A and B are shown apart, each in its own frame.
Chain A
Amino acid sequence: MFFQNLQKTLRQNIREYGMYIALFVIMLIFTITTEGVFISSRNLSNLLNQTGYIAVLAVGMTLVIVIRHIDLSVGFLAGFLGAIAAVALVQWNLPVFVVIPLVLVLGAIAGLITALPVAQLGIPSFVASLAGWLIYRGLLLLVTEGTGTIIIPDATFNALGNSYIPDLPEMAFLPGVHKITLLLGLIGIVFFILGQVNDRKQKQAYNFEILPMDLFILKLVFVSAIVGAITWVLSGYNGLSWTVVIVLIVLAIYHFITTQTVLGRHIYAVGGNPEAAELSGINVKRIIYVVFGSMGMLSALSGILFTARLQSATTTAGTLFELDAIAAAYVGGVSAAGGVGKVIGSIIGALVMLSLTSGMNLMGIGIAYQYVVRGLVLVAAVIFDVTTRGKGR
């Protein structure tokens, strides 16, 4: 009975659970092939930090693809705005708490500019953002031309890409373990369980279909174990990095907006059927501006994270970020047909792609093969998506 239920649930929700399973399998394979190095505290911590600047782009890209558009300009926009941040810090001597909001606002404006021809004239976003790709690449070169790489001495700024949240002073209890990280992980698990139980009660009140109790507990245990394991591994190194904290905050905000708010509903309605959305009184142009504006702001954030991580602005910063973000979104289950896709999925997608890179690096596989494998995984993910979608009908 239990296994029948499990099978049924997995089959019904294969689309939703598919990526988690894929990520789990990939991590397991690399853990075995690298004899545990992959899952080591140090490697996992690095992996998450590297995922950060792609993950925030993937979150924005999810919404762009959901409304049936694309934004190719985000990579070099991130690079360019990262360079602006460096210039503002180094040459204009602006304080870091002015620079970051300034760059985020500039990013949002850049996104709105991309949206302008798309919304007003119906120009394909592929073309409009390809123009942006060229323009921001040029501007990035222009900014870094005179000086070459701009090195950033500001410790606060660089901390965003390199440092970890503070810990309690060392004590006898659990030596060498990052206790705040562990605590946050535990709090996260408690909130997750409370939320799930609450949700289940509400569904019961409305007589909706719910998971059988044993499966429900299995789900809680499974997710808690994963979160717990990751937290445990991370707290064994330096704990949570600021990058991961920022990604989690972005994820939380966007998850809330897309699932709970009127704006989120309108975005998915426009993606699901633009004509119906318009006839339902939704201002489709406004949605295009909002989504591209948010994409621009997240590009700026991505640029800040990347620049902080390198502690400098380089002439090639942001190269191919846009394609990594798009791939992450598709791997994460966003549908090219529009209207379907979750921001959490895209973050998982980004993790899958970065895990592949990291794992293959550890195994000493050459970069040439790495590209081929990542390409195959992307295609496999989309084939999986398309074939499981057919079953829903």
Chain B
Amino acid sequence: MTSPILEMKNITKEFPGVKALNNVSFKVAQGEIHCLVGENGAGKSTLMKVLSGVYPHGTYTGDILYNGQAQQFRGIADSDKAGIAIIYQELALVPEMSVYENIFLGNEIRNGFLVNWNETIKRASEMLKKVGLTVNPATKVKDLSVGKQQLIEIAKALSRDVKLLILDEPTAALNEVESDNLLALLRGLRDHGVTCILISHKLREVFAIADSVTVLRDGQTIITLDAKKGEVSEAAIIKHMVGREIENIYPRREKIPPGEIVLEVKGWTAFDTLLGRDVLKDVRFNVRKGEIVGFAGLMGSGRTELAHSIFGNPDGYHLKGELAIKGRKAVFGLPEDAIRAGIAYVSEDRKGDGLILSQDVKQNISIANLRELASRGVVNANAEIKIANQYKGSLNIKTPSVEQKVVNLSGGNQQKVSLAKWLFVKPNVLILDEPTRGIDVGAKFEIYTLMTELVKQGMSIMLISSELPEVLGMSDRVYVVAAGRIAGELPISEATQERVMQLATN
């Protein structure tokens, strides 16, 4: 192994209540492509944010050695100066600006006080040639495909004389040809002495390109595998990625024979007009009465899009296909219609599109079903308080009173408020999107117990989760979603972490 360009030693990063990184060590050799893999929430992105200075020196403990010297980055500008560039999954380009403006944004070629546009265009063209992109540098970035935009980002990094290039899931939004081109480019850069750290969920890519692979799990380094020694294999990586035992926090359930089909979707395709592509392709699945159906898959695989498209399509996708509730065809124009048909959706992003943080607990619980509390349009405030207190008790929501603003509640209790709101709608089918993300184990257990209780009463639950143990521990059946398609359906007896990962990553 050549001398390391980067060495991160004993990095620990804490967020309130969570240890995101626990004593992580990470070494990258000069001129290699180093893949960083792990489940969602394993700490990959956090580690890269520590490296690039997004979390400045002092907010974490541990040392960063770069080219053998200790570094104390206070912000991206510092790491940038040192020749470290990071390209995020969500691209940081200005869509309305031209390619050359974007490449030199923040690094303008000056002529005194003025920008030297001619030199800029000339140098931009050189950079584009380096990344093998043949577009007019005057083209607006918004007119380029995502794949080409990714290359522009790399060109931007190259224009700053990058030594260490970090790519966070660069191929998540690319098709196969674009992905292959990108990988080829990375190899070319490696041959020119640029070191790469690649975060990827697609194991196929990792085998194709990695010189070494580091696996993170639960904020800890598990192992670093060396490709030259033949250590990198799919089985090895998956084993290390999911390695933990399923903790016994999933309540036991009596097996009941599945009831009639309450929700069925066939040939379901959703075209996103903003992205200009299908986010769901020919999806087919069903949910039976009294059943918990798991939807496993990687981030960005289309599970949330699937939930939204069923739940009244608030994102305005162009939908094709059939949706049937209890065998009867249904078309929902708005979430309102889906709610009336007995569907409830507890959203993934509690704060973003779940709760109204400026309002209190009771107002959040009642908002989706105010009509039940009102006569002639006037809300019965006493009935509202009564209902809210009922849910406060039954879900064990820890708040001094139901008049507390939800912004003051902890994550777990906010999630319970979100659940209470949708239980008050009294749905037949409850869609839970990442119901336990960012909440502690105790609250998780309470939510699992509640789910068990609800299906016993005849409710059906669609459980969308990126936490595999959760899906496997709670579901009766599992669908694996990958790239907007159903990659497979597994009865719980056949669903192992390895099997699901295989379907999800292929």
- Check: B367 CB closer than 8 A to any chain A CB: yes
Which of B336, B368, B378, B389 is A283 in contact with, Cβ under 8 Å? Answer: B336
A273-B357, A339-B356 as given contacts; A279 in contact with B379, CB under 8 Å? no
Are B335 and A279 in contact, with the CB atoms below 8 A? yes
Closest Cβ of chain A: how far from B130's Cβ, in Å? 40
- Check: A12 CB closer than 8 A to any chain B CB: no
CA distance A202 to B370 in the complex (A): 21
Are B347 and A279 in contact, with the CB atoms below 8 A? yes
Considering only CB atoms and an 8 Å cut-off, how many residues of chain B contact the other chain?
39
| Interface hub of B311, B353, B408 (most chain A Cβ within 10 A) | B353
Which of A209, A260, A280, A393 is B367 in contact with, Cβ under 8 Å? Answer: A280
For B354, the chain A residues whose CB sits under 8 A away are 276, 279
For B371, the chain A residues whose CB sits under 8 A away are 262
- Check: B295 CB closer than 8 A to any chain A CB: no
CA distance A262 to B334 in the complex (A): 19
Are A261 and B377 in contact, with the CB atoms below 8 A? yes
Are B405 and A392 in contact, with the CB atoms below 8 A? yes
The segment out of A179-187, A263-271, A325-333 that lies at the interface is A263-271
Are A262 and B358 in contact, with the CB atoms below 8 A? no
Interface string of A196-221 (1 = CB under 8 A from B): 00000010001111000000000000
- Check: A278 CB closer than 8 A to any chain B CB: yes
A209-B401, A281-B368, A392-B405 as given contacts; A261 in contact with B374, CB under 8 Å? yes
CA distance A339 to B357 in the complex (A): 10
- Check: B407 CB closer than 8 A to any chain A CB: yes
| Interface hub of B347, B370, B378, B408 (most chain A Cβ within 10 A) | B370
Which of A202, A209, A261, A278 is B314 in contact with, Cβ under 8 Å? Answer: A278
- Check: A272 CB closer than 8 A to any chain B CB: yes
CA distance A342 to B314 in the complex (A): 29
CA distance A263 to B374 in the complex (A): 11
CA distance A392 to B403 in the complex (A): 14
Interface residues of B in 304-347 (CB under 8 A from A): 311-312, 314, 334-336, 338-340, 345, 347
CA distance A207 to B403 in the complex (A): 11
Which B residue's beta carbon lies closest to that of A335?
B358
For A261, the chain B residues whose CB sits under 8 A away are 374, 377-379
Are A275 and B353 in contact, with the CB atoms below 8 A? yes
Are A280 and B335 in contact, with the CB atoms below 8 A? yes
A260-B378, A281-B334 as given contacts; A206 in contact with B385, CB under 8 Å? yes
CA distance A280 to B355 in the complex (A): 9
Are B368 and A280 in contact, with the CB atoms below 8 A? yes
Which of B338, B357, B401 is A208 in contact with, Cβ under 8 Å? Answer: B401
Are A260 and B336 in contact, with the CB atoms below 8 A? no
Residues of A within 8 A of B (CB): 202, 206-209, 260-263, 265-266, 268-269, 272-273, 275-283, 339-340, 392-393
5 further contact pairs, Cβ within 8 A, besides A261-B374, A273-B355: A260-B379, A260-B381, A268-B359, A269-B367, A281-B312
22 A-B pairs within 8 Å (CB atoms) are namely A202-B382, A206-B389, A208-B403, A209-B401, A260-B381, A261-B379, A262-B378, A262-B379, A266-B370, A268-B359, A272-B358, A273-B356, A276-B347, A278-B314, A278-B334, A279-B311, A279-B314, A281-B339, A282-B336, A283-B336, A339-B358, A339-B359
Residues of B within 8 A of A (CB): 311-312, 314, 334-336, 338-340, 345, 347, 352-359, 363, 366-368, 370-371, 374, 377-379, 381-382, 385, 389, 401, 403, 405, 407-408, 421
Which are the 10 A-B pairs with shortest beta-carbon distances?
A275-B353, A272-B356, A281-B336, A280-B368, A281-B339, A262-B370, A273-B356, A339-B358, A272-B358, A262-B374
